[in-house]
Amino acid sequence: MRKQAYSILVHNNPGLLSRMAGLFSRRGYNIESITAGTTADPRFTRITIVATGDELSLSQIEKQVRKMEDVIDIKPLNDTNSVCRELLMIKIRTNASQRADIISVADIFRAKIVDVERDCVMIELTGTGSKLEAFMELLDGYEILELARTGITGLTRGTEDVIYID
C-alpha cells in the first residue's frame, strides 16, 4: 500500500466533487485527503486528492477519474515532478511562562502566530507533511485544544505539462 496524490483540473460545475467522492466510495478506494479550489479562471477548479492503495488500485483510480465528464486533466504528483504543501492550524493552551517557548518553536519552523489570548495561542504552519509532523512532535507535552489540517495541495513543476484552455 502506498499514498498517491493526484492534481485534477475540472470544469467548475455543481456536484462534481460529490460525484468524484462517490466514484471513490463505490469502488472502495480510500481518500486520505481532498482539497479543491477555483483556479485563476473561475470556470475551472483544481482538485488534489491523496489516495491509498496498491499499484493496480492507484492505476484504476487514475483511469476512472480521467473518464469523468467534467475532468480536463489528471496528473499524479510525486517528489520529483511537483511541489506539495499542507496547512496546519493549531490552538495550544498556554500560560505566560510557556508562551515564549511555544513562540520559539513556531519561529524555528517559520510558522505564524495568528492569534494570542491570555490562555492560548493559535499557530498557522504551511509545509510538507513531514515538516508538520516534526512541528507537532516538538509540541508534545503541551495541551492541544484544537487542530485542523487542510490536506495536501500541489502543482507539477515547470511549464511543460500546463494545460491552456480557451
Calculate the alpha carbon distances from 151 to 49, 50, 87, 148 in Å.
Answer: 9, 8, 7, 9
According to the model, what pLDDT value does residue 45 have?
95
pLDDT in tens, 21-34: 899 888 888 899 99
Please state which of the four CATH numbers 3.40.50.300, 1.10.240.10, 3.90.1150.10, 3.30.70.260 is assigned to the domain occupying 2-77. 3.30.70.260
Ranges in the chain annotated CATH 3.30.70.1150: 83-153
Q: How confident is the model at residue 39 (pLDDT cuts 50, 70, 90)?
A: very high
Per the confidence metrics, is the pTM higher than 0.95?
no
Q: What percent of the chain has pLDDT over 90?
A: 84
Residue 42's Cβ-count burial label (10 Å; 0-12, 13-18, 19+) is exposed
Residue in 65, 52, 57, 85 with CA at minimum distance from that of residue 10: 65
Can you identify the CATH homologous superfamily of domain 83-153? ACT-like. Chain A, domain 2 (3.30.70.1150)
pLDDT in tens, 137-153: 999 999 999 999 999 99
According to the model, what pLDDT value does residue 120 have?
96
Q: How are beta strands 120-127 and 112-116 bridged, if at all?
A: antiparallel
Res. 166: pLDDT tops 80: no
Calculate the alpha carbon distances from 18 to 1, 37, 48, 67, 150 in Å.
Answer: 25, 14, 14, 16, 18
According to the model, what pLDDT value does residue 28 have?
86
Q: How confident is the model at residue 161 (pLDDT cuts 50, 70, 90)?
A: confident
pLDDT in tens, 84-132: 999 999 999 999 899 999 999 999 999 999 999 999 999 999 999 999 9
Q: Are 92 and 144 in contact (CB under 8 A)?
A: yes
According to the model, what pLDDT value does residue 79 have?
86
| Cβ atoms within 10 Å, residue 102 | 21
Residue type, 29: Y
According to the model, what pLDDT value does residue 30 have?
87
| Cβ atoms within 10 Å, residue 88 | 21
> CA 45, 55, 73: angle at the middle one, nearest 5?
20
| Cβ atoms within 10 Å, residue 15 | 9
